[in-house]
Amino acid sequence: MNRAAIDLWVGIFVALGLGALLFLALKAGNLTATDVGETYVLQARFDNIGGLKVRAPVKSAGVVVGRVGEIRFDAETYTALVSLHIDKRYQFPRDTFVTINTSGLLGEQYVGFEPGGDPEMLKPGEMVKKTQSAMVLEKLISQFMFSKAAEDEAKK
Amino acid sequence: MNPSALDLLRRLGHFVTDRLWRLGFASRFLMMTVLYSGAAFRRLHLTIREIYFTGVLSLIIILVSGLFVGMVLGLQGYDTLQRYGSSEALGVLVALSLVRELGPVVAALLFASRAGSAITAEIGLMKATEQLSAMEMMAVNPIARVIAPRFWAGVVSMPLLAALFSALGIFGGYLVGVQLIGVDAGSFWSQMQAAVDFRQDIMNGVIKSVVFGAIISWIAVFEGYDCEPTAEGVSGATTRTVVTSSLAILAADFMLTAFMFRGE
Amino acid sequence: MADEPPVLIRDLNFAYDRRPVLTGINMVIPRGAVVAIMGLSGCGKTTTLRLIGGQLKPTSGEVRVAGQVVHELDDAGLYALRRRMGMLFQFGALFTDLSVFDNVAFPLREHSGLPEEMIRDLVLMKLNAVGLRGAHHLMPAELSGGMARRVALARAIALDPLLIMYDEPFAGLDPISLSIIGALIRKLNDALGISSIIVTHDIQESLKIVDYIYFMADGKVVAEGTAEDIRRSQEPFVHQFIWGEPDGPVNFHYPARAYREELMEQPNRPRPWWT
């Protein structure tokens, strides 16, 4: 095996390997523009964040506009403080309704932004006004059971 | 204490200290290899030649194995997922299994058996036929000239091979899932793209394969360099390379996984 | 300094893991001489070569090559010294992945810093000296034992060393190759004006070409002298060695108990643990 042939084969090998990595990154992974862009931070306070995790998506109208940053517990108000990293390209009005939703019935939780009509936009670092906590399945079921029980009582 | 129990204890103690001593020697050997790596990079053709023998010649087994593993994942995955009505998640299952675990680990195990044993055998034979001694007597440092290029070739080849394994595997899963069984192609790829994170999954997989490459190359060159210069010595060293590398890879995989995928 | 012989060994002692291997060795290798070190396998001949080459460090005493104490040199000094020594290993130790040409060119490419065209000429010259210029394109696997050793010899003289060491150069060769190698060793030594040390137990060939012989047994020098001295020596060990007598100071029988006693006794078989 002379040197030229070896060099050629090694070159092909390295090219194939890097190509495979590229394929994995682009086709299989989610290396898209939004991830690489610049973001600004908004704060939100929730009574219950349910199963929300760090790096969960923030969606508005179903499109990913940012990611969940830090999740902290506020010991004074006994609520959860969540930092949201939003893509710099998108501005949201100050009366945006921030909710925690579940994708599908039993899927991952994400943060939803429903914009209101306020002409003023949220500034970086600002706290959102209106939030709705996650729906905890057990509470729903117990609510349903109690209301059913109350209905039956009323009927008697 | 009766004499045979004492004797057993003594032999156990000997065994442990012997192993520890050997580990220390191997660590010092690794340090020397890294220290003398200058020649491996200044005279790149030495390392490139080794990349050919370890990486390129392992391509066939890696590509074929990757394809088959991916296809099996597709079959098994579909069988389980469709029971819960989640067959569109097949892409996610195949991709995450491969990129996070199977790609780096299986490719590393195959690499250890094919390239690792070849490196050990080659170096062992060079030792047995006094080629390493001859090189020393000609004032050429065998660690710089023979060992270091092979070590770095392994470290470089491993992540490339793991990436190829994963890529071929995903393709195999696609062939079986979409083409053969009929899972929707759109959801196959889109759900995969949503679930596979570049930094968390792919980069971690790459880091794993680099670590595995270093482990295998280290064990392979050390066993070859340290073997008894006889036929039995070389064959024993080759076996030890494959066994020790495989165990080390699996143990390292556990530690890396625990570290990287905490609280996910 | 110019008067000192190329190799001077004084009161050399070497022990491996507390087991003494060499005791009180004194040797002189003069310039232009071919010196043989003879003895049984395992008497310490090859160890002596390794001590001269700096692959081992003596326990006490000193080995001086070209006026320098070998084991006191640092890495750079040792490598510089080794470039002036050539060594021929027992079966050639050619690099199996390189051709004959590349094998001989190896030390030149690593150390001489000469351009490829000059290296090519030098390699062909060295190969010509050993009669293998026409085989320069072959791989070591395609060579016979004698040819491989000749190529290794060409490689050993590539950098025109001042000393060449031969580790069992005659072992396992056919009669023709034997005399070729022997003649080459002498011819090269005289032509290049260097010194040669041959470790061997081949009597016939070495007595034809050497100037001086050191006899070793059990890690000590038991006899020394010119070829004639040795041939006429009455020292029992030397006599047994030279004339190939089966019994003498070196016993035929490995130490054992009295023959009759061993045959007559009942064997004491070890009993398995379950009885």
Contact (CB, 8 A) for A128 and A44: yes
User: Residue A28 is nearest to which of B55, B56, B99, comparing CB atoms?
Assistant: B99
Using the Cβ of A17 and the Cβ atoms of chain B, whether some distance falls under 8 Å is answered with yes
Paired with A67 in beta bridges are A57, A85
pLDDT at B261 over 90: no
Amino acid at A28: A
Q: Which residue has the tokens 């710089």?
A: B144
Q: Is the dihedral of CA B30, B32, B35, B39 positive or negative?
A: negative
Q: How far is it, in rounded angstroms, from Cα C233 to Cα C242? A: 9
Using the Cβ of A47 and the Cβ atoms of chain B, whether some distance falls under 8 Å is answered with no
Cα C237 to its chain centre, rounded Å, is 21
pLDDT in tens, C140-171: 999 988 899 999 999 999 998 999 999 998 88
Residue in chain B lying closest to C95 (CA): B131
pLDDT, averaged across chain C: 86
Q: How far is it, in rounded angstroms, from Cα B97 to Cα B211? A: 19
**What global pTM score does this model have?**
0.80
> In the prediction, which pLDDT does A132 show?
81
Tokens of C80: 């510089």
What is the arithmetic mean of pLDDT over C185-205? 89
Residue in chain B lying closest to C155 (CA): B138
Cα-Cα-Cα-Cα torsion A120, A125, A128, A134, nearest 10 degrees, comes to 150
CA angle C237, C241, C242 (to 5 degrees): 120
Using the Cβ of A18 and the Cβ atoms of chain B, whether some distance falls under 8 Å is answered with yes
Mutate to test the interface with A, among B160, B178, B210 (most CBs of A within 10 A): B160
Residue B261 vs residues A50, B71, B200, B253, C63: alpha-carbon distances, Å: 21, 26, 8, 11, 60
Using the Cβ of B198 and the Cβ atoms of chain A, whether some distance falls under 8 Å is answered with yes
Domain check: are A19 and A42 in the same one?
no
Domain check: are A15 and A90 in the same one?
no
CB contacts, 8 Å: B133 with chain C: 55, 89, 93
Q: Phi/psi at C171 (nearest 5 deg)?
A: -65, 125
Count of Cβ atoms closer than 10 Å to residue A4 Cβ: 8
pLDDT in tens, B123-171: 999 999 999 999 998 989 999 999 999 999 999 999 999 999 999 999 9
What is the arithmetic mean of pLDDT over C57-81? 88
User: pLDDT over 90 for what percent of chain B?
Assistant: 69
Q: Is the dihedral of CA A63, A65, A70, A72 positive or negative?
A: negative
Do A28 and B192 make contact, defined as CB atoms within 8 angstroms?
Answer: yes
Distance, in angstroms, between A11 CA and closest chain B CA? 9
CATH architecture of structural domain C7-84+161-264: 3-Layer(aba) Sandwich (3.40)
C275 — pLDDT class (breaks 50, 70, 90): low
Q: Which residue has the tokens 């030390």?
A: C107
pLDDT in tens, C231-272: 887 777 788 888 777 777 777 777 788 888 778 776 677 777
Residue in chain A lying closest to B162 (CA): A17
Contact (CB, 8 A) for C238 and C223: yes
> In the prediction, which pLDDT does A106 show?
59
CB contacts, 8 Å: A25 with chain B: 198, 202
> In the prediction, which pLDDT does A29 show?
61
Q: What totals of helices (H) and strands (E) does chain B contain, helices first?
A: 13, 0
pLDDT at C1 over 70: no
pLDDT, averaged across chain B: 91
Do C110 and B139 make contact, defined as CB atoms within 8 angstroms?
Answer: yes
Q: Is C26 left (phi over 0), alpha (psi -120 to 50) or beta?
A: beta
> In the prediction, which pLDDT does A107 show?
66
Do B194 and A30 make contact, defined as CB atoms within 8 angstroms?
Answer: yes
How many residue contacts between A and B have a Cβ separation below 8 Å?
A: 81
Q: How far is it, in rounded angstroms, from Cα B231 to Cα B128? A: 8
Do B134 and C55 make contact, defined as CB atoms within 8 angstroms?
Answer: no
Paired with A112 in beta bridges are A59, A99
Helices assigned H by DSSP within C15-156: 45-52, 75-82, 100-107, 116-129, 145-156
Query: What length is written for chain A?
Result: 156
User: pLDDT over 90 for what percent of chain C?
Assistant: 27
Which of B137, B191, B150, A89 has its CA nearest to residue C110? B137
Distance, in angstroms, between B134 CA and closest chain C CA? 7
pLDDT in tens, A41-90: 888 888 888 878 777 788 888 888 888 888 888 888 888 888 888 888 88
Do C82 and B133 make contact, defined as CB atoms within 8 angstroms?
Answer: no
- Which of C195-199, C200-204, C258-262 reaches the highest mean pLDDT? C195-199
Residue in chain B lying closest to A10 (CA): B52
A151 in a domain, yes or no? Answer: no
What is the arithmetic mean of pLDDT over A105-131? 80
> In the prediction, which pLDDT does B190 show?
79
pLDDT in tens, B177-236: 888 888 888 888 877 877 777 777 888 999 999 999 999 999 999 999 999 989 999 999
Do B170 and A28 make contact, defined as CB atoms within 8 angstroms?
Answer: yes
Using the Cβ of B48 and the Cβ atoms of chain A, whether some distance falls under 8 Å is answered with yes
Q: Is the dihedral of CA C180, C185, C191, C192 positive or negative?
A: positive
Contact (CB, 8 A) for B163 and B206: yes
What is the arithmetic mean of pLDDT over C74-97? 89
CB contacts, 8 Å: B149 with chain C: none
Do C89 and B136 make contact, defined as CB atoms within 8 angstroms?
Answer: no
Q: How far is it, in rounded angstroms, from Cα C104 to Cα C102? A: 5
Q: Which residue has the higher pLDDT, A107 or B17?
A: B17
> In the prediction, which pLDDT does B264 show?
46
Residues 113-172, chain B, touching A (beta carbon < 8 A)? 157, 159-161, 163-164, 166-168, 170
What is the arithmetic mean of pLDDT over C99-111? 92
Mean pLDDT lowest among A20-34, A35-49, B112-126:
A20-34
Amino acid at C225: G
Domain check: are A43 and A23 in the same one?
no
Cα-Cα-Cα-Cα torsion C72, C75, C80, C84, nearest 10 degrees, comes to 70
Do A24 and B163 make contact, defined as CB atoms within 8 angstroms?
Answer: yes
Structural domain span for residue A8: 1-31
Using the Cβ of B44 and the Cβ atoms of chain A, whether some distance falls under 8 Å is answered with no
Contact (CB, 8 A) for A120 and A66: no
Edge-to-edge, what's the strand order for the sheet holding C163-167? Answer: C85-88, C163-167, C195-200, C34-39, C212-217, C220-225
Residue C235 vs residues C35, C224, C238, C244, C266: alpha-carbon distances, Å: 20, 11, 5, 14, 43
A97 in a domain, yes or no? Answer: yes
> In the prediction, which pLDDT does B210 show?
96
pLDDT in tens, B9-62: 999 999 999 889 999 999 999 999 999 998 888 888 889 999 999 999 999 999
A90 in a domain, yes or no? Answer: yes
Distance, in angstroms, between B202 CA and closest chain A CA? 7
Do A17 and B170 make contact, defined as CB atoms within 8 angstroms?
Answer: no
Q: How far is it, in rounded angstroms, from Cα C128 to Cα C92? A: 18
Using the Cβ of A105 and the Cβ atoms of chain B, whether some distance falls under 8 Å is answered with no
Which of C87, C90, C91 has its CA nearest to residue C141? C91
Using the Cβ of A15 and the Cβ atoms of chain B, whether some distance falls under 8 Å is answered with no
Q: Is the dihedral of CA C86, C92, C96, C102 positive or negative?
A: positive
Tokens of B234: 């070389």
Q: Which residue has the higher pLDDT, C66 or B155?
A: B155
Mutate to test the interface with C, among B130, B138, B150 (most CBs of C within 10 A): B138
User: Residue C93 is nearest to which of B131, B139, B141, comparing CB atoms?
Assistant: B131
A153 in a domain, yes or no? Answer: no
CB contacts, 8 Å: B140 with chain C: 106-107, 110
Query: Could you give the number of structural domains in chain A?
Result: 2
Contact (CB, 8 A) for A90 and A42: no
- Which of A42-46, B165-169, C45-49, C83-87 reaches the highest mean pLDDT? B165-169
